[in-house]
Amino acid sequence: MKTFLLSITLCFTLLGFSQNDPKAKALLDQVSTKVKSYDNISLDFRYVLHNSAENINQETRGDVVMEGDKYVLNILGITRIYDGKTMYSINPEDEEVTISTENPEDEGSITPSKMLSFYTEGYTYKMGTKENIKGRVIQFVKLTPIDSNSEIDHVLLGIDPQTKHIYNLIEAGNNGTKTTLTVTSFETNQTLSKALFSFNKDKYKNFYINKLN
């Protein structure tokens, strides 16, 4: 789960301009500006984890709705609701709800509301290849972690130059693991229920409530 969330983490402060390809920076800036222009974003995605040495090949699908810092994320059978102050992780299989307080300013706090421009901090970047994928022209940008001790070797970020939306993200780990996040549906400025980001305890009367803090 942490690897998945790291793959969709988002910050908006660019660092290390002098080390970056100006064309790549311009494209990433356009993506970041586009993301910030939306009132809310709804995504469906496919997530694949592959490591041939360990004979691991896992695929899952999920969806997330984001509005500012708030979000509802569904993946691996678990629903996570973050109302801007409190995280509710709902596990129907175990009939358990875990409640915790997250600090968005905490460096270790990885949230989907920071999605789609994680690359703006901690990476240098340069333009990569341009590919035709299922009839769409996708421009890749290669990102390399500034931290030499990072577990990530590099990230390839696929961007649709026409829409300025991220199509996919391919993360190559130093341990041979490759994770790919592909956006299969991207909708914006939807009419959302006011209760969407609220936890309704009445729906989970028979669940065990685990309060972490």
Q: How confident is the model at residue 135 (pLDDT cuts 50, 70, 90)?
A: very high
pLDDT at residue 18 in the model: 36
Write down the number of H helices and E strands in the chain. 2, 12
Comparison of pLDDT for 105 and 49, the residue scoring more: 49
Look at residue 3 and tell me whether its pLDDT is greater than 60. Answer: no
Q: Average pLDDT, stretch 83-87?
A: 92
pLDDT at residue 53 in the model: 84
In 37-173, which residue ranges form alpha helices assigned H by DSSP?
Answer: none
Q: Average pLDDT, stretch 110-123?
A: 65
Look at residue 192 and tell me whether its pLDDT is greater than 80. Answer: yes
Quote the mean pLDDT of the chain: 84
Q: Average pLDDT, stretch 68-82?
A: 92
pLDDT at residue 4 in the model: 52
- Say which residue the tokens 């908006």 belong to: 12
Look at residue 14 and tell me whether its pLDDT is greater than 70. Answer: no
Q: Average pLDDT, stretch 146-170?
A: 91
Total-model pTM: 0.80
Look at residue 13 and tell me whether its pLDDT is greater than 80. Answer: no
pLDDT at residue 147 in the model: 87
Give residue-wise pLDDT tens across range 26-67: 998 898 889 889 999 999 999 999 998 888 899 999 999 999
d(C-alpha 168, C-alpha 138), whole Å? 9
Give residue-wise pLDDT tens across range 118-134: 666 788 889 999 999 99
> In whole angstroms, how far apart are CA 212 and each of 102, 113, 158, 209?
11, 21, 37, 10
Q: How confident is the model at residue 82 (pLDDT cuts 50, 70, 90)?
A: very high
Most distant CA pair in the chain, distance: 56
